[in-house]
C-alpha cells in the first residue's frame, strides 16, 4: 500500500477538515439549508432541541380581541413570567403592531374552528396561536402558550402507555394523529413524573367519535378536563428552560 509523504498527508488532512467544516455549517444552520429548515418545522415538537426555546417571548394580540380578552392573555403571560424568570415575556401595547419585526413572536389570532398553537419557537417572524370564542378562558390560553413554549400534550410522552390507555376504536376518523406519542429523541419529560391532571393532558372524551372515552388511565379511570396548572407542568417548564 503506497504511503503518502508526511507533508502531503498533512495537506490532505487540512483539505478534508475544510470540507468537513463546510458540510457541518451547512447542515447546522437552517437559514442556509432549506431542507434542514423544513425538517425542523415538521418535527418542531423537539423540545429537546434548544433552538425551539425562547429567550424573549413576544406576544402580539390581534386588534380583533376586546379589552377583556386582552386582559386574560396578559394575565396568562404574567403567570408564565413568574414561572420562567429567565424568559422575557413582552406584549405589544394596544394599537402597536410588529411591522418589520425580525425576531420570532406569537401572533394571537381569532379562529372559527378550535384553538391551536405551534409547539416551541419557530424560526423567525410570526407564529400563530389561534383561539376560537370557546377558548378565551385563561386555562385554555395557558395550555396553548405552554405549547408555544415547547411542551406537548402529556399523553405525547414516549412512556405514556405506562399511565394511560388509548382506545383507538373510539377516536374520530382522521384524528388519530392527535394521540401519537413522540420519539424519546424528540421530547423529554425532563425527569418529571407523568400527571393525568396536567394542564397539557387530554380529557377522556377528546376527539370521541361515539361519546365513548378515547383515553383512560391504565387502571380504567376517566380523565377529567384539567382545571389548573399542576406542579409537574411548572417543574417541567423550569427544567426545560433551566430556570
Ligand atoms: Zn393542546
152 is known to lie in a ligand binding site: no
Q: How far is the CA of 90 from the centre of ligand 1 (A)?
A: 22
Distance of CA 234 to the CA centre of its chain: 15
Q: How far is the CA of 149 from the centre of ligand 1 (A)?
A: 12
**pLDDT (0 to 100) of residue 119:** 92
pLDDT at residue 32 greater than cutoff 50: no
The residues that bridge with 108 in the sheet, in sequence order, are 61, 129
Q: Give the alpha-carbon dihedral of 80, 58, 179, 115, to 10 degrees.
A: 100
**pLDDT (0 to 100) of residue 5:** 54
Distance of CA 119 to the CA centre of its chain: 2
153 is known to lie in a ligand binding site: yes
**pLDDT, average across residues 61-81:** 96
Q: Which class would CATH give 153-230?
A: alpha beta
Residues 110 and 90: their CA atoms lie apart, in Å, by 20
Instruction: Give me the active site residues, please.
Output: 144
Predicted TM-score (pTM) of the model is 0.78
Q: How far is the CA of 194 from the centre of ligand 1 (A)?
A: 16
pLDDT at residue 15 greater than cutoff 60: no
What is the per-residue burial (b if ≥16 Cβ within 10 Å, else e) of 169-202?
A: ebbeeeeeeebebbeeebbbbbebebbbbbbbbb
Q: How far is the CA of 153 from the centre of ligand 1 (A)?
A: 6
Q: What confidence tens digit (pLDDT) does each residue in 178-227 have?
A: 999 898 888 888 899 999 999 999 999 999 999 999 999 999 999 998 88
pLDDT at residue 33 greater than cutoff 50: no
Closest CA to 229 of 201, 203, 208: 201
Task: For residue 215, give Cα distances in angstroms to 101, 143, 157, 176, 179.
Answer: 42, 19, 14, 12, 9
Q: How far is the CA of 20 from the centre of ligand 1 (A)?
A: 41
Q: Tell me how crowded residue 103 is: count the other CB atoms within 10 A of its CB.
A: 13
Q: Where are the domains of the chain?
A: 50-149, 153-230
**pLDDT, average across residues 34-38:** 29
Intrachain domains 50-149 and 153-230 with the same fold: yes
- What fold does the segment set 50-149 form as a domain? Collagenase (Catalytic Domain) (3.40.390)
Q: How far is the CA of 199 from the centre of ligand 1 (A)?
A: 9
**pLDDT (0 to 100) of residue 206:** 95
Amino acid at each position: 500500500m503506497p504511503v503518502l509523504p508526511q507533508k502531503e498527508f498533512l495537506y490532505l488532512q487540512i483539505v478534508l477538515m475544510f470540507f468537513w467544516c463546510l458540510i457541518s455549517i451547512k447542515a447546522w444552520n437552517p437559514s442556509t439549508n432549506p431542507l434542514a429548515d423544513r425538517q425542523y418545522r415538521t418535527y418542531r415538537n423537539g423540545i429537546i432541541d434548544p433552538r425551539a426555546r425562547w429567550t424573549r417571548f413576544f406576544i402580539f394580540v390581534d386588534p380583533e380581541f376586546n379589552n377583556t380578552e386582552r386582559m386574560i392573555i396578559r394575565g396568562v403571560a404574567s403567570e408564565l413570567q413568574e414561572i420562567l424568570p429567565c424568559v422575557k415575556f413582552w406584549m405589544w401595547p394596544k394599537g402597536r403592531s410588529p411591522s418589520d419585526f425580525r425576531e420570532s413572536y406569537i401572533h394571537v389570532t381569532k379562529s372559527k374552528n378550535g384553538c391551536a398553537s405551534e409547539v416551541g419557537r419557530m424560526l423567525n417572524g410570526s407564529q400563530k396561536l389561534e383561539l376560537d370564542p370557546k377558548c378565551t378562558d385563561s386555562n385554555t390560553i395557558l395550555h396553548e402558550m405552554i405549547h408555544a413554549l415547547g411542551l406537548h400534550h402529556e399523553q405525547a410522552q414516549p412512556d405514556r402507555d405506562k399511565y394511560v390507555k388509548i382506545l383507538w376504536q373510539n377516536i374520530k376518523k382522521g384524528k388519530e394523529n392527535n394521540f401519537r406519542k413522540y420519539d424519546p429523541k424528540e421530547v423529554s419529560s425532563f425527569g418529571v413524573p407523568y400527571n393525568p391532571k396536567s394542564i397539557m393532558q387530554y380529557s377522556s372524551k377528546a376527539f370521541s367519535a361515539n361519546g365513548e372515552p378515547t383515553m383512560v388511565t391504565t387502571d380504567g379511570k376517566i380523565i377529567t378536563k384539567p382545571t389548573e396548572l399542576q406542579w409537574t407542568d411548572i417543574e417541567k417548564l423550569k427544567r426545560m428552560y433551566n430556570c
